[in-house]
Chains A and B, each alone.
Chain A
Amino acid sequence: MEFSLFLALLVFVMISAVISVTLRDVLSAIIALAGFSFGAAVVYVLLRAPDVALTEAAVGAGATTVLFLVTIVKTVRPAGERVFERIRWGPAALALAFLGTISLTIPSIPRVGAPDSAVVAGDVTRYYLEMATPETGVENVVTAVLAAYRGFDTLGEAVVVIAAGMAVLLVLRREVYV
């Protein structure tokens, strides 16, 4: 039951990705992107990553959509009679060549959910799972790694967010935009 739901979701995510990229109307594309993002968040839930799913749903499907909507309010929304863009064969050939090249690596990737794959069975993962709660006192290992073991990484993330905020303010510094 859960597996067929999972496959249906993966198909939904792929189709909504294609739709959001090929829709001609920008507002429709943004709405399709929000749906795509939310589908991806549900896929993360089924892959047992609740923290990532929450962030993706709030930030990916929520905040990003708001940013896009503000942008099209400030700019234009090109109108057209066609619902979808015409397919451009040059870029399509490029994308297919890219897909062909990276899918050559599939046979060397461990199968989905393999308990002996390098990520799951690796020393780092095992150390975090055993020691994170005793060493930091945090029950959620993801939070413990985020805030304690990789705290500098999270500090760097905060620096990136502040730098991005400053860049946005600098680029749009005239009163017209504020």
Chain B
Amino acid sequence: MIELLASHYTYLTAMVILAVGLYGVVASPNLVKKIVALNVFQVGIFLFFISSAFVLDGVPAIGTHGPGPYVSPLPHVLILTAIVVGVSLTAVGLALVVRIYDGYGSLNEQVIREVQADD
């Protein structure tokens, strides 16, 4: 157990961040905070990918003429794309939140449900 902790610490951190993000998405009544939690969840996945590319005593894959070892560039590329897509999704989500606030006058999940039930 302790050896696993010592040899997989970044993966464990990523998984803890995923769990914290999931808790936030489910537990927060406020819609903006749900999106904050979604961003936290996302970083957990990024950290998992970047950890998988890491080599002990490795160097970034820039000017690959030296002896190396080099970290793998492929997960880095995937995560670069994912970060930009994540921000786009955050922007759309927040725009919907602004629109929901305009329609219901609240950002609280419970209040919005009650208003919907009244209509």
Residue numbers of A with Cβ under 8 A of B are: 7, 10, 13-14, 17-18, 20-22, 26, 29-30, 33, 36-37, 40, 43-44, 47-52, 55-56, 59-60, 63-64, 67-68, 70-72, 74-76, 78, 85, 87-88, 90-92, 94-96, 98-99, 102-103, 106-107, 109, 111-115, 117, 119-120, 122, 124-125, 128-130, 132-133, 139-142, 145-146, 150, 153-154, 157, 160-161, 163-165, 167-168, 171-172, 177
Contact = CB atoms under 8 A, between A and B. Distances in A.
Contacts of A106: 4, 8, 11-12, 15
B106 to A, nearest CB: 8
Nearest to B75: A119
Contacts of A7: 9
Interface of B: 4, 7-13, 15-24, 26-28, 30, 32-33, 35-37, 39-40, 43, 46-47, 50-65, 68-77, 79-81, 83-92, 94-99, 101, 106-108
Contacts of A33: 36, 39-40
Given A14-B17, A142-B73, A112 B51 contact: yes
A-B pairs, top 3 by smallest CB distance, nearest first, are: A113-B56, A164-B88, A21-B24
B40 A17 contact: yes
Contacts of B68: 129
Contacts of A74: 98, 101
B113 to A, nearest CB: 16
